Structure 1
Amino acid sequence: MSLARFSVYRPVTVLMGMLAVLVLGVISWSQLKMDLLPDITFPVIAVVTVYPGVGPQEVEEYVTKPIEDQCGLVKNLKHLSSVSQEGVSVVLEEFEWGTDMDFASFDTREKVDQVIDQLPDDAHRPYIVKYDPSTIMPVMTLNVTGMDDQQALRKFTEDVIKRELEKVNGVAAVDVYGGLEREIQVLVDHGRLAAYGLSVQQIEQAIKAENLNIPGGHIELGQREFTVRTLGEFRRPEEIEHITVAVKDGIPIRLRDVATVHDTHKEIRQYSRLNTKPAVTLVVRKESEANAVELARAMRKAVADLNQRLPGQVRVTVSWASADYIERALHNMYGVAEEGALLAVVIIFLFLSSLRSTLVIATSIPLSIMATAILMRFNDMTLNVVTMGGLTLAIGRIVDDSIVVLENIFRHVEEGEAPVRAAVRGAGEVGVAIIAATLTTVCVFFPIALVGGLVGEIFTPMSITVTVALMSSLAVALTVIPMVSARLLRPSGERRPSHPLLRPVDQALQAWERAYRRLEHAYGTAIAWCLRNRALVLGLAGGIFLFSLSLTRIVGAAFFPHTDRGEFTLSLRMPVGSNVEQTNQAALFIERTMVAVPEIELVTSTVGESAGGMSTTSVREASFQVRLKPRRQRIRSTDDVIKELRDKFSKLPGAEISFQTGMSRGGDAPIIITIYG
């Protein structure tokens, strides 16, 4: 029994199948996570070791080289490189695409553990990171303002706000920048120290020995038990001054006799501002399995709840979120897909001139898309610009098979056959043809899934999406369309006269039909002329083809299309030897200049030393996250704003300025050259 015959004579079974696909599809679609691009696993592992306060040469000699020697023994290693800079060593291992990165990470850990004992005592334990841009790059930046006392603001941010935000599901880390960090300084008077015959090491040991809580076991009193502890940790700076450093001739020497204690803040090595005003910046990074869009929504809700409970003028502002652009991009893709589906239905209605036939064809679009959504959900795929692009591309092709089947069924009905028999015969006659046509199209897209490397990682989801959508449309054309046609189609002679309110529509369709017939006649005339002038037509076609090939050099090529994201990042690097104050003055000039630009809405700056992810910055570097106003509220594009700023900042003496918009670094610069070492 053919599929068409089965579907026509088993309508309840087919309807139940349709209902199951629609219900599961709607549930699956609602559960699909949103992202900008498909999940990409890069075959790169980084071994990061922090060695604070040490120059690049010493980091390379005592940390990087020993780790490199061991990492070179890791299996399936393709390329090994390293970066040694002040206070940090990064060794990068690159593997072939398709390598099991879990095993590679385990192998790397095993090799690095063998060299830990050879590293300097002050060097931190190396940590191994699988390179994942989604977890290394921040997903949100927040700024805390509202206190004049920057030390109190920093402490409040770390003790209250940071802890609240870290509770949000999916947050891996919240890094804090800016403000002033509290520090208790013991300033030794070397003259008095020498007079008492003491050393700085003795003072250090005395402070460590006194600043302890010592457990003392437990005691029992009757039927009750008590834990015993000796509380010695300092609670106030004044307590430090009273500790005994040494005893000379039976006389105790107090710390206050040889030093003074100051409750102050650490040396300023970084600044953080929001629109030129001091602020504490929070940078949020997500877990590897978390979704950026869902996390951003949860974070915004947490920030809104937090702002209602914060004291005084303290407020948390979301200055940047990667999910904003993702949602805008996907919203645009949704609109394009909806417009494409609507236009397809309208065109079908115009050419078939039948509401019943149009409804029959239109059923193939939601059924095919919902079937694709089910597969995407159970394969942990995401809704992103690639998969949505595949669905949008497939919408125009989804209805083709159904149109062919319906047209042949309608022909049999017009010839006088019963609708049920016409549905079986009509679908059976064109079944092989539409299967061949669909498989031909599938053969164009499916091989993309077999491509290796980064291109395969990005475009395989699109290949799978298009393939499943087309195969689903084929199944719909061979089952659902015959079943529905057998019950909805009727010969034109049996059609009821239209309702008076629909007569204008009928008249418009008749006018369209007359215009189409004239176009069809003109097309026939053109075809006849082409057949009489075959050589000329073939020559013109060949010439146009060759000319189009020459245009490829003019059009150019890019891995990702350039878009106006409404945001960009500016990086500043001052000359070698610049201190944090010099960098801060240049950063202030840049901030004030950008805030004065009418298209710019927010400027978040981080100046000086910072560390996060796999990178660190020095005191001669600064980073600025800039958010522009919505596109409808500004005249100029992001590139126009960047061009103006580049001209203004080109006069900064010795400063290196670079821009990053989305995934392309350097703004409109065609080539970027970076020199290391």
Structure 2
Amino acid sequence: MNISEFCIRRPVMTVLLSLAAIVAGAVAYTKLPVAAVPRVDFPVITIFANFAGASPETMATSVALPLERELSTIAGVDTISSINGQDTTQITLQFVLGRNIDAAAQDVQAAMTRAQRRLPIDMTIPPSYRKVNPADAPVVLLTLSGGDTPLYRLNDIASTIIGPALSRVPGVAQVLTFGEQLYSVRVRLDPDRIAAMGLAFDTMQQSVAQANSNTPVGLLNGQRQQLTLRANDQPQNADEFGRLVVAGRAQAPVRLNEIAQVADGVQNERVAAWRNDTRALVLAVLRQPDANTVEVVDGVKASLPALQSALPPGAEINVMLDRSMSIRDAVHDVQESLIIAIGLVVLVCFLFLRRVTATLIPTVAVPISLCVAFGLMYALGYGIDNVTLLGLTIAVGLVVDDAIVVLEAIVRHIEEGMPPMQAAIRGSREIGFTVLSITLSLIAVFLPILLMGGVVGRVFNAFAATVSLAVIASCVVSLTLTPLMASRLRGHHATQGRRPPLIDRVLEAGFRGIEGGYAWLLDKALKFRLVVWVLFLASVGAAGYVAVIIPKGFFPVEDTGFLLINTEGPRGASMAAMAEVQGRLSEALLQTPHVKNVVSNLGAVGGSISINQGRLFVELKPRKERPPVEHVIQELRQTANAFPGLRVFMQPIQNINFGARQTRTQYLYTLQGLRLDELYDWAPRLEQRLQTLSQLQDVNTDLQLDSPVVLVNVDRDRATTLGVTVDQVRQALFSAFGARQISTIYGQANAYPVILEALPEDQRDETGLAKLYIRAAGGKLVPLSAVASIERRSGPLNVSHQGQLPAVVIGFNTPPGVALGDAVNAIRAVEREMGLPPSIVTGFSGAAQVFQQALAGQGMLVLTAVLIMYVVLGVLYESLIHPLTILSGLPAAALGAFGTLYLFDLDLSVIAVIGVLLLIGLVKKNAIMIVDVALQRQRAGAPAFAAVREACILRFRPILMTTLAAGAGAVPIAAGWGAAAELRQPLGLAVVGGLAVSQVLTLFVTPVLYLGFDSLARRLSFGRGKVPAQAAPAE
């Protein structure tokens, strides 16, 4: 007794277990996390270092290099890169996938501690680090604006009230602040007043710091009591600081406000953010890895009314960018596609079976299989996202196949007059091995994806697992519940003497006509086998040709409804100039018909550490109210072109990023070299040449050598003669122009810096240097001009390192319709044309690097899938030859898939390759049904020719039915309906096109190849295709 007969004879058990599976799956579905794409953990740690007043070269050599040397010794580091700008260093460590990020963070902290002793002594703030997952973009951006409330007060509220409150929302990982405005007291010294009072810049730092001392003073211990000593409390604001005595003159105290402007301000005046056209703080909320994005955003929004009540009058908190909206739309649209696919599959079943009761049997397999898949997905840690829902939609056409094959075998026996119970037992026994073969060989296709490493493997592991789980569930249902339900069918109405309905007669006549036409064509194909062999070989050659000429892409660009715009102003542009032009750009964007909101940032945000670079997050209007994102970008480019001197780089925000850091463009091309002069000579030339390529757009480089620099050249001999040291000169310059932190105010919730600098008007250009005086060894004030000359030059705006070597990064995008593979080939051609010296090493990083790795592995991935399937089929059929017969439909499927993508002007992206792999598993089932019956007939004594001909005619209808069902499941995906359709459509088109072509060719190629391989097997006398005894028909 096999499992089917056991379930047929135990109907209550079978039905109850099926109902339990449905309930468990439905409950599991409600608990699955919802996100845009599957979780991909990039173990990335970013180190930040600040050294006020330091040039990019100083940051690169004295800060970045010592840190990089220690960080490079950490185990598991994949890449290390840094970008060094004015005052700032940002080092990005990307670890190999699988490296525990928490353990890596401990190693990073230890490495920074070891490097501390080699960092500049004047660095008052030690380097810090942050664990980053580039794949986790903020799920929502909030803006906090104050009306009449100063931003630094709102900053305190954000850090002490709003941030902690949002962090307590279930699923929130952390809250980041952009445009941070930390309160500080800014002491702006007047050089003229200082000199008039006989004071000097190089000593004022100590004077102010000593006046604001906050050190303990001790205890008084008496016989009966202990008293704590306290001196004057620290000043807490600018007014109190202004009254501090910092020097004495003619027995009169010199107060700080007599020689300086003392004002309440912010720590970093070179960072700012705006909500549309209003200054604001931007709060970015990141979710935990396994959290439900939709629930996290709903929780954040629910907490906002209580937070609003804690704000001062006139201040408000607003939701600006809600990433959950695109996820809701995408999930909703995929769910609609899933329902449409189910409807199409049911329609196909009804057209072939023509009875509601018979149609219900394979239809029931769909919800049960999907519910079982939901339960297993929950147990294995998967969630609901675009990729898994894509797998489930495709699975709709697959899970019904097994039930159709089983049902067709049972119905055939019923129509021949056999009682339903006996027909169900016999039919399920006959077809059980076929169903098992189809299921195992389909799962075998996904083994390479399940075992694939790298980022792409992490993403599509969920797709392969989802489809595999659904197919396994459908196999179990088709061998248990389907035979049980079929055993309760009544005999065909023709056997009971009733006249079938008109539609039944029309459809049956049509099917019989199609079968008759196929039988005639099949006889012709079997008669002229050489023609079929030529056709088969031609399909192999055509598939190979189209595979070569089709453009190779990476991931389709998804329309999420959000844009990232990076701006770059002229070299040396000030903060005020950038704020003015970026504000006008933001206003212009808001006036366009497709833009809803704009969040603007300036300063050290994301991957930008240069003052002439900014960033805008743009929320577009709903997709139904605007054209696709590519057209929107082209229109916004025209708007941005109206701002001369401002370079603008636009890219749609994607739900998954493949780079370790945010960049101005989607793709990066790097140059490394030991010789800095050679590297800086070749990089601009190469950039200019790449800008002429039609396959690239937005070509830019991080090498900016023409930033204006003022060089203070100290005459050491002259300085020594006058009693001035070089360190005194540096200290004076740092105090005047370095935004030097000289003290700290300790508040109840935060610590606030005290910043020393010159008056704003003395910091505008090099003329302010002439007002600086330095106290010589004898006490005399010496003007800076007496010991140094001032010269204006050009220098780098920032300095990059890659792998501890000097590097230049060239960014680029691809124009609409250009595949990334074509762009990469064009860049490589330019390299060869220009003849780069061997000392300069080139390569791609970020998404372009992942693309190259994925492209190199695509051929091996498909080959591995075919080999695994061959092994599985060889084991199942105990044959070395007939697995080749079963796999003979693959070239036709590949030709159909590649040709369809080419006709629809789509490149061969990673998602399309996954569709080709899926095709490998789909098209072989037709051949399996033919070969399985043919082998059974041969075992019964029939010659090969008669056996394969009978198998083709006998299995023609279920082959046609299952192929149409699988194609129907993919039609909503191929149609490209709804949000995130760009991600799904290549797979759907590949499946539909491949099924259509392979269906036509396989029905004729398979029997011809079967006869050829059977003859070969007889001559070789081994591997003749034995079928296990339990699979043989009981006739």
- Tell me which interval the TM-score lies in, with the shorter structure as reference length: 0.7 to 0.9
Partner of residue 551 from structure 2, selected from 551, 556, 571:
556
Q: Which residue of 1 aligns with 2:648?
A: 657
Secondary structure of 1:560 counterpart? coil
SS at match of 1:481: helix
Q: How far 1:19 sits from its partner (Å)? A: 2.7
Partner of 1:299: 300
Matching residue's letter, 2:640: F
Please, which of 616, 621, 624 is the counterpart of residue 629 of structure 1?
621
1:478-517 equivalences in 2 (<5 Å): 478-486=479-487, 488-493=488-493, 507-517=502-512
Change (3 A) 1:84 1:567: same
Partner of 1:467: 468
* Structure 2 residue 584 is the aligned partner of structure 1 residue 580: no
For residue 612 of structure 2, what is the amino acid of its counterpart? R
CA change 1:545–1:175 in 2 (3 A) is: same
- In structure 2, the partner of 1:15 is 15
Aligned partner of 2:560 in structure 1 is 565
Q: Does structure 2 conserve the Cα–Cα contact (< 8 Å) formed by 1:139 and 1:284?
A: yes
Q: Deviations for 1:278-332, whole angstroms, at most 9, x for unmatched residues?
A: 3333233334454433322222222355457756554322221332222222222
Q: Distance in 2 between matches of 1:105 and 1:597?
A: 45
User: Quick one: structure 1 residues 471 and 217, their matched pair in 2 at CA, closer, same or farther if it must change by over 3 Å?
Assistant: farther
1:567 aligned partner, one-letter code: F
Calculate the TM-score normalised by the size of structure 1: 0.86
Aligned partner (choices 189, 200, 203) of residue 207 of structure 2? 203
**What secondary structure sits across from 1:565 in the alignment?**
coil
Aligned with 1:610 (options 588, 598, 604):
604
- Give the whole-Å Cα distance in 1 for the aligned partners of 2:200 and 2:51: 35
Contact (CA 8 Å) 1:213, 1:231: kept in 2 or not? no
Q: What code does the residue aligned with 1:319 have?
A: M
**Contact 1:50 / 1:87 at 8 angstroms: preserved in 2?**
yes
Question: What does 1:16-31 align with in structure 2 at a 5 Å threshold?
Answer: 16-31=16-31
Aligned-partner residue type, residue 203 of structure 1? S
Q: Is the 8 A contact 1:185 1:261 kept in 2?
A: yes
Moved more, 639-648 or 300-309: 300-309
Q: For residue 592 of structure 2, what is the aligned residue in structure 1?
A: 597
Aligned match of 2:515:
520
Distance 1:108 1:403 in 2: 58
Task: State the alpha-carbon separation in 2 of the partners of residues 176 and 243 from structure 1.
Answer: 33
Identity %: 27
Contact 1:446 1:467 in 2 (8 A): no
Alpha-carbon distance, 1:31 to partner:
0.9
Q: Any idea what SS the aligned residue of 1:602 has?
A: strand
For 2:813, the equivalent position in structure 1 comes to none
- Structural mapping, 1:39-188, within 5 Å: 39-42=39-42, 44-99=44-99, 102-121=102-121, 122=123, 124-135=125-136, 137-145=137-145, 147-148=147-148, 150-151=150-151, 154-155=154-155, 158=158, 160-178=161-179, 182-187=183-188
> Which amino acid letter does the alignment assign opposite residue 293 of structure 1?
V
Indicate how the Cα distance of structure 1 residues 390 and 236 shifts in structure 2: closer, same or farther if over 3 A, else same: closer
- Corresponding residue of 1:619: 611
Aligned residues of 1:80 and 1:91 also touching (Cα < 8 A): yes
CA contact (8 A) 2:25 2:374 kept: yes
Q: Matched residues in 1 for 2:507 and 2:588: separation?
A: 59
Query: 2:194 is aligned with what amino acid?
Result: H
Bigger shift: 112-121 or 19-28?
Answer: 112-121
- Structure 1 residue 75 displacement after superposition: 3.2
CA distance in 2, matches of 1:51, 1:289: 37
Partner of 1:33: 33
**1:263-287 alpha-carbon deviations (Å, 9 max, x no partner):** 4566742443333343333233334
Preserved contact between residue 341 and residue 397 of structure 2 (Cα < 8 Å): yes
After superposing the two structures, state which structure 1 stretch, 160-169 or 573-582, moved more: 160-169
Measured after TM superposition, the shift of residue 376 of structure 1 is 1.4
Instruction: Give the structure 1 partner of residue 814 of structure 2.
Output: none
Task: Answer yes or no: is 1:354 the counterpart of 2:355.
Answer: yes
The CA deviation at 1:435 is 0.5
Contact persistence 1:154–1:178 (CA under 8 A) = no
**Following TM superposition, by how much is the alpha carbon of 1:204 offset from its aligned partner in structure 2, in angstroms?**
1.7
Q: Deviations over 1:195-240 (max 9, x none)?
A: 899952453234322x579897999999xx9999777243554444
Alignment match, 2:638: 647
Task: Return closer, same or farther for 1:19/1:587 CA change in 2, 3 Å cut-off.
Answer: same
Q: Give the secondary-structure state (helix, strand or coil) at the position aligned to 2:75.
A: coil
Partner deviation per Cα, 1:42-80 (whole Å, 9 max, x = no partner): 355444433344222111222222222223333354544
Distance 2:353 2:439 in 1: 22
Map of 2:869 onto structure 1: none
Closer, same or farther in 2 for the Cα pair 1:525/1:149, shift >3 Å? same
Q: Which amino acid aligns with 2:85?
A: Q
Q: Would you say the 8 A contact 1:207–1:240 is kept in 2?
A: no
Deviations 1:395-438 (A, max 9, x none): 11111111121222223334444433332222112111111121
Local SS of the residue matching 1:284: strand
Checking the alignment, whether the CA contact within 8 Å between 1:345 and 1:362 is kept in structure 2 is yes
Q: Deviations over 1:498-529 (max 9, x none)?
A: 9xxxx9x9554444334433443444444445
Helix, strand or coil: the match of 1:363? helix
Q: Which residue of 1 aligns with 2:411?
A: 410
Question: Partner letter of residue 279 of structure 2?
Answer: P
Letter aligned with residue 570 of structure 1: I
Distance 1:555 1:628, change over 3 A: farther
| Residues 51 and 59 in structure 2, CA contact (< 8 A), matched pair in contact too | yes
Alignment size in residue pairs: 663
2:313 is the alignment partner of 1:319:
no
CA deviations on 1:321-347 (whole Å, 9 max, x unpaired) are 332222222222212122111211121
Q: Residue type matched to 2:614 in 1?
A: A
8 Å Cα contact 1:144-1:157 kept in structure 2: no
Structure 1 alignment gaps of length 5 or more: none
| Contact 1:567 1:628 (C-alpha < 8 Å) held by counterparts | yes
Amino acid aligned to 1:70: E
**Cα root mean square deviation, aligned:** 3.9
**Contact 2:402–2:478 (8 Å) recurs in 1:** yes
* Distance change >3 Å, CA 82–CA 416, structure 1 → 2: same
Q: Residue 289 and residue 134 in structure 1: after superposition, are their counterparts in 2 closer, same or farther (change >3 A)?
A: farther
1:45, 1:128 within 8 Å by CA — same for their partners in 2? Answer: yes
Contact 2:78 2:96 in 1 (8 A): yes
- With over 3 angstroms needed to count, the CA separation of the structure-2 counterparts of 1:283 and 1:44, relative to structure 1, is closer
Shift of 1:661: 1.0
Give, as a single letter, the amino acid of the residue that structure 2 aligns with 1:190.
I
Residues 438 and 474, structure 1, Cα contact 8 Å, conserved in 2? yes
TM-superposed CA distance for 1:532, in Å, is 5.0
How high is the TM-score relative to the length of structure 2? Answer: 0.58
Change (3 A) 1:405 1:293: same
- Structure 1 stretch displaced more, 321-330 or 305-314: 305-314
Deviates more, 1:258-267 or 1:110-119: 258-267
Distance 1:575 1:453 in 2: 39
Cα contact 1:372–1:468 (8 A) shared by 2:
yes
**Structure 2 counterpart SS, 1:194:** coil
Q: Which residue of 1 aligns with 2:194?
A: 190
Q: Secondary structure at the match of 1:484?
A: helix
Aligned in 2, Cα 1:380/1:127: closer, same or farther, shift over 3 Å?
farther
Task: Tell me the secondary structure at the aligned position of residue 333 of structure 1.
Answer: helix
- Separation in structure 1 between the aligned mates of residue 104 and residue 64 of structure 2, nearest angstrom: 19
> SS of 2:212's equivalent?
helix
How far did residue 156 of structure 1 move? Answer: 7.2
- CA distance, structure 1, for counterparts of residue 618 and residue 257 of structure 2: 50
Match runs of 1:211-222 below 5 Å: none
Counterpart AA for 2:209: Q
